[in-house]
Amino acid sequence: MKIIEHQGNGINYYTLVNNHHMSVTIMDWGATITAIKTHDKDGKFANIILGFDDGPDYITYQSFFGATVARVAGVIKNARWRDHDLTQNSGENHLNGGNMPQIAFEPWFLERKLHTSDQVGLVMQYITLDGENGYPGTMTITANFILDNDGKFTISYTGKSDKETLFNPTNHTYFNLSGNAESLINHQILKINADEYASLDKHGLPTGKLPWVTDSPFDFRDPAEIGPQIANIKGGLHHGFVLNDTPYPQVELLDRVSGRKLTMRTNAPAVVVSSATNYRDDRYRLNGGKPMRSQLGLSLQAQKLPDAIHHKAFGSIIIEPNVPVTYQTAYQFTNIYDV
């Protein structure tokens, strides 16, 4: 177990490596995951997430690949909570915590490194001041990234504020288990342990309704190929799912060709899944110079459902003064062909 450090263009990178050569790289800007490398059925390691080769591109394009999103992930309709006017950065709405500043593209402070016989990790912090992006309270956000020797990668986000405020963080990594950023995710297999999903209106905003997934293309309770399912969803997947409370993994993703498998468990009540459908940008050069294309990655954002402050059924994202709240998500990486 080790941590490898390097710098480039004013950015600090930390690579967590376990004894089986699996690795996770995190940069201090945006507490962003820039690479996760796991082996395929032949023992070949490759990066299984979408990201840029040059660190400054994350900041330039602000695409949220791999980034920590806070204070509140997703949309807040009309950019208003009680008597607080939040930053409007998506039309009249507030998106991913606002942009004055945008926490996902600011430098985080490395508080300490963790190193034991079976774990390596980082503890990073960001302090967002009272009034930034319209939020009340000075909040300290602590991010823990821990890789263990069994291939489990755990992310914890803890928020503590000196005033009542909002907190609903997530991580915005796009996975492509093929390890090839030219191979679409259409034939990868997705399972979501969820009976309900959050419906969206024609503007992509949550309606507040939570239909059952039964007899719909949102039914991933049994493993299903991603492509055929989302072909029946206009605009693809960018929806929240209400996770069932079970002892089993709540989300599973499998690439049968490489054998790579990801399972996810979280204490968050929902996951927002995005298939990057119709997401194209010819400026982007990902993972070795490859262009960004539609359905090139799948994001699994553990959080409470977006726009929760306007929909009681979504649960509260209000946190009390000086009472820390933690969201924790564990990703287990395996290979189905290992014996």
pLDDT confidence tier of residue 189, bands split at 50, 70 and 90: very high
Query: Please, how many CA atoms are within 13 Å of residue 35, restricted to the half-sphere of its CB?
Result: 22
For residue 29, pLDDT over 90 is answered with: yes
pLDDT confidence tier of residue 35, bands split at 50, 70 and 90: very high
Strands (E) in 183-280, as ranges, are 189-192, 194-197, 224-225, 238-243, 251-254, 260-266, 270-274
For residue 239, pLDDT over 90 is answered with: yes
For residue 247, pLDDT over 90 is answered with: no
Average pLDDT over residues 21-44: 98
Q: Whats the size of the chain, residue-wise?
A: 339
pLDDT confidence tier of residue 336, bands split at 50, 70 and 90: very high
Compute the distance between CA of residue 249 and CA of residue 227 in angstroms, rounded to an integer.
22
pLDDT tens across 320-330, in order? Answer: 999 999 999 99
If one counts every other C-beta atom within 10 angstroms of the C-beta of residue 91, the result is 11
Pinpoint the alpha helices (H) of the chain: 55-61, 226-230
**pLDDT reported for residue 108:** 98
**pLDDT reported for residue 57:** 95
Compute the distance between CA of residue 159 and CA of residue 155 in angstroms, rounded to an integer.
13
**pLDDT reported for residue 262:** 98
pLDDT tens across 132-181, in order? Answer: 999 999 999 999 999 999 999 999 999 999 999 999 999 999 999 999 98
pTM of the model: 0.97
pLDDT tens across 281-318, in order? Answer: 778 888 888 889 999 999 999 999 999 999 999 999 99
Q: Are strands 290-292 and 281-286 parallel, antiparallel or unpaired?
A: antiparallel
Across the strands, what pairs with 114? 121
* Domains of the chain, each with CATH number or no CATH: 2-335 (2.70.98.10)
Residue holding tokens 């007899």?
215
pLDDT tens across 40-92, in order? Answer: 999 999 999 999 999 999 999 999 999 999 999 999 999 999 999 999 999 99
Find out whether the peptide bond into 82 is cis, omega within 30 degrees of 0.
no
Which amino acid would we find at residue 288? G
Average pLDDT over residues 226-240: 96
For residue 122, pLDDT over 90 is answered with: yes
CA distances from 39 to 22, 43, 44, 260, 280 (A): 7, 5, 5, 7, 28
